[in-house]
Amino acid sequence: MSTEKRQTTIPFQPSNAVNPFIVPGARYCNEKMREIMATAMMVHENPFNAAEHQIWVWAFEYANSEFRKVSHKTARNDCVALYEKEKKILKTQLESVSKISLTTDMWRSSHQVVEYMVITGHFIDVGWNLNKRVLSFVKVPAPRRGIDVADAIYKCLKTWGIENKVFSVSVDNASYNDSCLRCLKDNLSLTGKLILGGSLFHVRCCAHILNLLVQDGLSKIKDTIFNIRESVKYINHNDGRLKAFCDVVEQKGLKERKLIIDCPTRWNSTFNMLSTALKFKIAFASYQEREPHYDLAPSLEEWNKVEKVCKLLEVFNYATHVISGSEYPTANLYLAEVWKVKVILDEADEDADRFMREMASPMKAKFDKYWGECNLLMAIASVLDPRCKFHMVRICFPKIYKSQEVADENIKKVRSSLDELYDDYVALSLADASSSNGNLNSNTQSSSQANVAAVKTGFDEIMCLIQENVAISPMKSELQQYLDEGIYVPNTTSFSALDWWRNNSMKYKILSKMAADILAIPISTVASESTFSAGGRVIDEFRSRLSEESVEALICGGDWFRHKYNVTKNSKVGKEEIQVNLKI
């Protein structure tokens, strides 16, 4: 039997940076050593009792004889203290942020039947860097009502002092989220004005919607999926069966050298299993003729269905990677992927094959349910991509919506909303300018009053006469100027809309701020390793046994220090597909 199971936990990758804790010429400090240990525990997700592990203690004592061992209780207190210290730093940073968008996601503990909510903030800092930071990790007691979740989010916002800076909240399609965001929106409207009247406040998770569509498609071939999965398990059961299958593969001249057993709760894993198995369809049939106890080989008709489903899933697979990728894409990239999904669904719905039509029909219905109305966020974000401006909207909308008339109405809606959004930012800019100039105006008030009584010069009188007789064209707004200019054609395939706006921020002082806030809005609520999963996110047994205060300190602190020290956290997925190597 030759199997190779992929690692389920991959170590953190080194940042290759200079050690930030080393200060040339500084003497050893045990307090600093404890701070470094606490940082490591949060970043690398070690339990508190790691501080008591004998070999580690000996290693630290070997490095410096002045090292003093700490207990797990002291390690816990050090982590919480360091978390509180870093929280103050982040809170100060958020004071200079104009707008912040949120995502929420639910996690459950492995030890208790308890659910936690993680609240993440997404924002552009003063250096034009795109940031995301976990702001809260709190227990949400049952029964989980929308108003309870709204209260938990609002409490988090008040704690951080950002309740008047919220632009949007991205959530999945859980039933309680609609009432949650209505309550939250009402609360926030009492203390401040929401941008665009709150039209962009509620953002539905695109990855979740794509997942729902995929599950509809896979359900049409669930029996075939089961047979393929069990076929690979059967072949991989012992060395004799595996060798017999390898002999068939070699006899048929097939080049592929691996099979995959999927993780059933992760649809991309199922997609990998199906697309790989397709390359062996003649081998499965031939193996069934030779093996009397094997009767799971799909028929030719079933293989044809699998092939068509895989063609469909390939588009969904790529779209999900773009929407929830580890590179953390900005919002201008989303509309094109939704358009591509609609194109492939329309093609399937018009296919001559009845199976394809029956599969595509419920998927299209679900697409229209969630994206049938104009998605202002995706549209406005695409307009703020200087490579596209309104061209992408004009290309995509006729395909996404049912008729040209509906598409035209939605294009007009996008334009009017864009104008209204820009007006909101002009008002915000004027308010900021008025506030910052308040002291200056009060100091110069007396001199200004003296100038009012001054006699007009001859030039002033001439200018008044000219303005009465000549129509002076109003100055174009930054938005109109941006739209009137041609599209930007980059000289490289690598392009960042955010970098473009940063480089043009002096030219578009108001519009660039608006673009930054729009581009920072996430359209997926989940981390890239979770986007393909039908199962929920789970915190490990160690953390599920801790107090709420300790859990939040570890989750939030770990996130902050990974960003601070540029330490990459790789995927940690509980179950993963199994690769079966064919040795021929």
Q: What is the mean pLDDT of residues 296-305?
A: 96
Percent of the chain residues past pLDDT 90, beyond the cut: 59
Q: Is residue 447 pLDDT above 70, yes or no?
A: no
Average pLDDT over residues 226-251: 95
Summarised one tens digit per residue, pLDDT across range 321-356 is 888 765 667 899 899 999 999 999 999 999 999 999
Q: Taken in order 369, 537, 270, 313, is the CA torsion positive or negative? A: positive
Phi first, then psi, for residue 116 (nearest 5°) are -120, 150
In terms of average pLDDT, the best of 173-177, 199-203, 501-505 is 501-505
Cα 126 to chain centroid, rounded: 21
d(CA 98, CA 162): 9
Q: Kindly tell me the sign of the dihedral angle through the C-alpha atoms of 396, 399, 401, 403.
A: positive
Q: Radius of gyration of the chain from Cα atoms? A: 29
Q: What is the pLDDT of residue 450?
A: 39
- Phi then psi dihedrals of residue 329, to 5 deg: -70, 155
> Distance (Å, rounded) from C-alpha 433 to C-alpha 425?
12
Q: Of 261, 257, 279, nearest to 270 (Cα)?
A: 261
Nearest C-alpha neighbor of 169 from the set 126, 98, 105: 105
- Which residue's structure tokens are 């649809």? 267
- H or E, element range at 479: helix 478-484
Winning range, highest mean pLDDT, from 10-24, 133-147, 154-168, 514-528: 154-168
pLDDT at 46: 87
Confirm if 121 and 153 have CB atoms less than 8 A apart. Answer: no
Residue 434: predicted pLDDT: 67
pLDDT in tens, 156-199: 999 999 999 999 999 988 888 999 999 999 999 887 789 999 99
Are 505 and 397 a contacting pair, CB within 8 Å? no
SS3 497: helix
* Interstrand relation of 578-581 and 258-261 (parallel, antiparallel or unpaired): antiparallel
| CA distance to 103, 106, 164, 184, 329, per residue, from 168 (Å) | 8, 18, 12, 11, 17
The pLDDT value given to residue 18: 75
User: Has this prediction a pTM greater than 0.75?
Assistant: yes
Has domain 96-204+520-545 been given CATH number 3.30.420?
yes
Which ranges of 161-205 does DSSP label H, i.e. alpha helix? 175-191
Confidence (pLDDT) at 298 = 96
Q: Where exactly are the structural domains of the chain?
A: 96-204+520-545, 212-413
Q: How far apart are CA 82 and CA 561, in angstroms?
A: 10
pLDDT of residue 4: 44
pLDDT at 6 over 50: no
Question: Is the predicted pLDDT of residue 27 greater than 80, yes or no?
Answer: yes
pLDDT at 129: 92
Higher pLDDT, 11 or 75: 75
pLDDT digits (tens, 9 = 90+) for 274-283: 999 999 999 9
Question: Looking at the predicted structure, is the pLDDT value of residue 445 above 80?
Answer: no
pLDDT at 567: 87
Rounded to the nearest integer, the mean pLDDT of the chain is 86
- The pLDDT assigned to 492 comes to 80
Q: How many helices (H) and strands (E) does the chain have?
A: 24, 9
Strand-pairing partners, residue 266, are 533
- Pairing relation of β-strands 578-581 and 3-5? antiparallel
Which candidate, 14, 9, 10, 11, places its Cα nearest to that of 566? 14
pLDDT of residue 326: 55
Cβ neighbours for 521, distance < 8 A, ≥ 6 positions apart: 101, 122, 167, 168, 170, 200, 203, 331, 377, 381
Q: Looking at residue 329, what is its pLDDT?
A: 73
Highest mean pLDDT pick, 107-121, 391-405, 424-438, 472-486: 391-405
CA distance 220 to 365: 15
